[in-house]
Each structure stands twice: as C-alpha cells, then as structure tokens.
Structure 1
Amino acid sequence: MTEQTTTTTNQTPANVEVDTSYENDSSYGDELSSYSASLTSSVLEYRHENGRRYHKYRDGSYLLPNDEKENDRLDMVHELCLQVLNRKLYLAPIKNPQRVIDLATGTGIWAIDFADEHPQAEVIGCDLSPIQPTLVPPNVKFLVDDIESEWAYERNSFDFIHARSLAISIRDFGKLIKQCYRSTKPGGWVEFQDWNGYPYSEDGSLDGTALQRYFDNVYGAFEEAGYDARPGVKLEEWFKEAGFVNIHAEKFVIPCGVWPKDPHFKKLGVWAQAGVEAGLEGGALAALTRFKNWTKEEVLLLASEARADGRKRDIHSMFNFYVVYGQRPEN
C-alpha cells in the first residue's frame, strides 16, 4: 500500500469576524467503571499542594491537578471538541472496531461515549489517576498506566487508538506515536486530537495583554521542563515517521470568548472561554511554583489578570486545534 496523505483545513474562514453589536466590556454572563489495574498504594494516594490535588503514582510526571475542579474542566473540553467536530467523537474511518484504547483518558468521558456508540467493542481507558466513574457501560474498563513508559500491551492488538489534548503532558510524542503503531493491528487506525497551546490574534489585539503573558510564562515553563505545548501542528509528520499511511490532517480555528459575530464561532468561543478560565490556576500552579520559584500568590494574581483580559471583547484570541489520523498498513 502506498502512502496517501491528505491535509485539509476546516471550513473556518481566514478571518473570524468580530461581533461589534455589543459595547466592549469585561463580562460575558450567561453566554458562556469499574477500573481494572494492579493498584499500588501510590496509585490511591494523592499529592496536595497549593490547595490543589495531584496524582501520586509516577509523581511529578504530569503537572496538572486531578481534583474535581480539573475534572469539570476536562468535561468542558470534551463538550468543546464535540462542538468542533459536529458531535463526532473521532474522524477516522473505522469500521466495526473490536478493541479500542483511549490514552490518558482523564475522566473517561470519551471512552464511555465511544463504548455506548460501539457496544460490540472492548474499550480501555488508561490514565495515571483512577478518577473515572464506576457506573459505566459493561464494555469499558479503566487501567492505571503511564503511557510514556514502555507499553505492556501486546503488539498488533488494537483496532483503534485514540488520544486527545495531550499538550503539556507528553515529553516525546514521536516515541508515543511509534508505540501506538506497534500496538495497532494491520489495517487499524490511530487518531490524535491536539492543540497548539499558545493563543494568537489576527488583529494584534492579544499583544501585550496579561492573557498573552500568562501563556508565555506558563507554557514556557512547561517547555523548559521538556513538555511539548504545541504538538498539534507536528502530528502529521510524527505519523509519517512512525510508518502510518492514509494520513489525514485537519486544522480547526477556535475563538476564545464571545467576540465572534458568527453564531457558530460565538458558541465555540463561549465553550473555549469556559475551559480556559477553569484551567488558569490549575494549569499554572505546579509549573511556575516547582520550576520557576513563583509563589502561590504570584500565580493566582497572573491567573486573575489573564481571566480579566480573556473577558474583554476587544481582545480577539484564538487557538488552533488539530485532528490527525492514520492507518497501519495491511501488510
């Protein structure tokens, strides 16, 4: 089979038009399983720091919290992705999958939704933290696992491997995607959905703002610590290097805030803004206090200033979101 690579952008126009029907203000109001694993004591313990809870298993390998606030944010991001993808959980052309794994499953919401859609499939969700619900479809199970360690899954075992929003969580995406290749059945599919974590504006309105300063400081700290904050744009190349064929890459532009005029983009903007606001403190605390010697108070001040800027209608920030899938060759 020869490699067929198709790169397609979504229907987002080059410029997202600003809604000027409102006066500029800083408020947006209403617009806005049981699991299976060989559990050690460290898995069930947690690290508490600066008022947030973190995983203890492989302590320090993942720098975002795993408490209820963070779980709510993850579920917001799930809904945002469904809005972006027209309520689809994935774009890969999979057919009758029998064995599926969701990497870094978080709250398990994607795995649960997929299991409901595909009752014939065995669905595994793996994560560093056992934070998933216990009342789940019978074809779902959750494992405690570190996907950056060498995989214990047998080779050629999955029909479909899915991963989403691993930016600032993974140090070596190339290695991870090669592990996915080895564990995918011939003819099976792998799909990654991920971000360029840095926002931007087409009109320069983000320049010099506290919102920009937040991401420069926080994501800069992650990158200095070895994490990739903008994997989305590089996913297609990593898929090629791993050996996948029939690769498809698609980019989606997501406004952040209620400033777009188009109703669809305004709706995306509300969800994106809600997700960003929910993650400002949790996303920054560990990275800046552990790596940059910031105090908790300094981090909270930066997050507060970024939140205020994010609500201003004259700051037109956007993020790029990428969906890339590829097939392991039949032979």
Structure 2
Amino acid sequence: MGRASNTYMLPESAFTSPAELERLDKVNTALTVFFNGKLSFAPIEDTQPRRILELGCGSGAWAIDAASNFSKAEVIAVDINPIPPRPLPKNLTFMKLNLLKPLPFKKCSFDIIHARMVMMHLPQVEEVLQRVFDLLRPGGYIILEDPDNEDLNDEGIPRGPVGKEHLSTILNTLMQSLGAQPCIGRDHKKILESSGYFDDITVKKVCIPITPVEEAKKGSPEAKLGHSWKESWKTLAEALPARYSDQGLTKDVVNTFLTTIDDPNSHIVTALYFSWGRKKL
C-alpha cells in the first residue's frame, strides 16, 4: 500500500515515519493471514513468473514477500517515495517512479502486476491502468486490491456514508475533490472488462466488521481482518487534522470517529475488493 500521487492523504513527513511504516507492515501481515499465508486470492502460487511488478510498494512488505515466495523471479517495486532502509531479497529492485507518468518498461514484460490500496489515490485511474495492462504478458495476472470507502456504514443499512459529519464522508469528499477515487474498488470489474485485455476476471467483495461484533463473529477471518483494519484507520485518522482541519477533518471529528469504532454497540462494516484478471493469450 504505497503512495503514487499528491492525493495521498497523509503529510509527506509521514511517508518515512516509523508509525506509518509499521501500519503498512501490519496491514500486509493481516492480509497475508486472511489469504491463508498466500500473496493474494489470485491463483498465482503455482505459476512460474519471471518478472513481477508492484505498483506503489509503500513499506515494501508485499514485494519482499513476493521475492521470497518466487525466488527465481525478478521483482521490481515502484513508488514515488523510497522503500525504508531494511533488508531486501537479492531478486528485489526498487525504482522511484510516478505512476501518473508512463513507466519505463517494455510492453508484455511482466507475469504478475500487483497494486494494493494504490488506485484509490490516483486521478485518471483508467488511463493509468491501460498503460499498466500493456506491460502484462499474455497469460499474466493483474491483481488489484482497493476498498469502497463509501461502503463504510452501519450494518444492515443500504450503501451510503454513515453521516455528513462522519470522518469517512469528509475524507471521501476531500479525496474526490483532489481527483482521487476512494470508492474505486466497486469499479474494478468494469475497468477490467472494458479494457478488452482479459478473458478470466474475478472480483471478490469482502465485507469486514470495523466495530466490535458479536462473540460468534470474533473468530472469523473477516472479523480478524476487520480488527487490523480498524487499527489502521485509527492511525490514519489521528494524523489527518494536522493537514486537513480547515477542510473539516478536525480533532473533534476524529475523536467522534475513534469513539464510534470502539463502541461495542456500534456495528460498522466496510467493503474491500480483491480483483484479478488473466490477460488473454
């Protein structure tokens, strides 16, 4: 989960802060557990990729896992900010690149391309992805993982923000005003289908509980992921007022949000989309 444009909501000073890097690593760990120890839901474990590209690599956690799992593959991780100093596998290379510009790779040169919580921060997502699709070899996999942040709502209530003064509503509006698409997850299927590149497309929508849930759900994979997602939201929320108080993301809004998601009587869920497509042969 990395940064690729100025629509990323945290201040630039947070990009290399220990707290943000720890948050990104914890999210990667939680998702790996949710995937039963795999890199994703996509059926790539038995493939023999030669080259793997991760877009917006953030802390580098997923790219490191990919390089370790596919030790014979060349893994390239790109982000607009460097990976923090940490041990990297020999088959992993980092490149500082802006996803809003053409990438310096040959067409059809990657077997797997992965993007986690990155497309939601970009303007002109479809244009970016069209360029990315060109980089994928026939038979290769594109893997997209994004939320639908408008689906953060009270359980049982139809889709929609939980309220005009709710942190997620204000944040979504602000991101959209900057050109970002915080609800891009719901559009994965349309984007993949309309590209004409893929003959095997899967979109898996997962609803996870953010607030405390009934005892019967506490041991479920969705509830465990929801707990990690809540902790990630809390870390993000606490950093927002310093930059966006004038746009409505005040300390009072954040404090109300933090109280709500820790309230045992609240039932807030959110939607994550895990999508992949196999490029036509």
Structure 2 length-normalised TM = 0.86
Distance, in Å, in 2 between the alignment partners of 1:242 and 1:284 is: 39
2:109 alignment partner in structure 1: 157
**Higher relative contact order (CA closer than 8 Å, sequence separation 6+):** 1
1:210 CA drift (Å): 7.8
Q: Which residue of 2 aligns with 1:81?
A: 31
Change (3 A) 1:207 1:194: closer
The Cα shift of 1:143 comes to 0.9
Partner of 1:274: 231
Q: Is the 8 A contact 1:249 1:324 kept in 2?
A: yes
Identity %: 23
Match of 1:63 in 2: 9
2:94 corresponds to which letter in structure 1?
A: F
Please list, as runs of the form range in 1=range in 2, the aligned pairs for 1:3-14 lying within 5 A after superposition. Answer: none
Offset of residue 91 of structure 1: 2.5
Amino acid across the alignment from 1:327: R
| In structure 2, C-alpha distance between the alignment counterparts of 1:251 and 1:182, rounded to whole Å | 26
Shift of 1:283: 4.7
CA contact (8 A) 1:210 1:306 kept: no
Query: Structure 1 residues 118 and 268, CA, compared in 2 at 3 Å: closer, same or farther?
Result: same
Identify the match of residue 192 of structure 2 among 222, 230, 239. 239
Q: 1:134 to 1:242 in 2, by over 3 A?
A: same
Could you tell me which runs of 5 or more consecutive residues in structure 2 were left unpaired when the two chains were aligned.
none
Instruction: Write out per-residue CA displacement over residues 199-230 of structure 1, whole angstroms, 9 at most, x where no aligned residue.
Output: 112245x9997896111111111112211011
Instruction: State the match for 2:206 in structure 1.
Output: 252
**Secondary structure of 2:166's partner?**
helix
Alignment of 1:1-331 (within 5 A): 60-64=6-10, 65-66=14-15, 67-94=17-44, 95-166=47-118, 168-198=120-150, 199-204=152-157, 213-243=166-196, 244-261=198-215, 262=217, 263-264=219-220, 265-283=222-240, 285-286=242-243, 288-289=244-245, 293-294=246-247, 299-330=250-281
CA 1:126–1:221: 2 relative to 1, 3 Å: same
The number of equivalent residue pairs is 268
Q: 1:211 to 1:86 in 2, by over 3 A?
A: farther
Q: Following the alignment from structure 1 to structure 2, what is the Cα–Cα distance between the partners of residues 186 and 240?
A: 16
Task: Describe the shift of the 1:283–1:124 C-alpha distance in structure 2 as closer, same or farther (beyond 3 A).
Answer: farther
CA contact (8 A) 1:260 1:269 kept: no
One-letter amino acid of the structure 1 residue matched with residue 41 of structure 2: L
Alpha-carbon distance in 2 for matches of 1:309, 1:211: 15
The AA in structure 2 aligned to 1:259 is V
Give 1:234 shift.
0.5
Q: CA deviation at 1:69?
A: 1.9
Assess, with a 3 A threshold, how the Cα gap between structure 1 residues 115 and 211 changes in structure 2: closer, same or farther. farther
Partner deviation per Cα, 1:166-214 (whole Å, 9 max, x = no partner): 254111221122112100112211110111023112245x999789611
Paired with 1:284 and 1:175, the residues of 2 have a C-alpha distance of: 32
Mapped contact 2:67–2:89 kept (Cα < 8 A):
yes
**SS state at 2:254 partner:** helix
CA displacement at 1:99 relative to structure 2 = 0.3
Flag the structure with larger Rg.
1
The answer (yes or no) to whether the contact 2:161–2:169 under 8 Å persists in 1 is no
Q: Is the 8 A contact 1:167 1:197 kept in 2?
A: no
8 A Cα contact 2:209 2:226, kept in partner: yes
TM-score by length of 1: 0.74
Q: Deviations over 1:224-263 (max 9, x none)?
A: 2211011111001101122222111111111113324321
Q: Which amino acid aligns with 2:63?
A: A
Equivalent residue of 1:92, what SS? coil
- 1:164–1:194 CA contact under 8 A, matched in 2: yes
Q: Which whole-Å CA distance do the structure 2 matches of 1:283 and 1:303 have between them? A: 8
Identify unmatched segments of 5+ residues in structure 1. 1-54
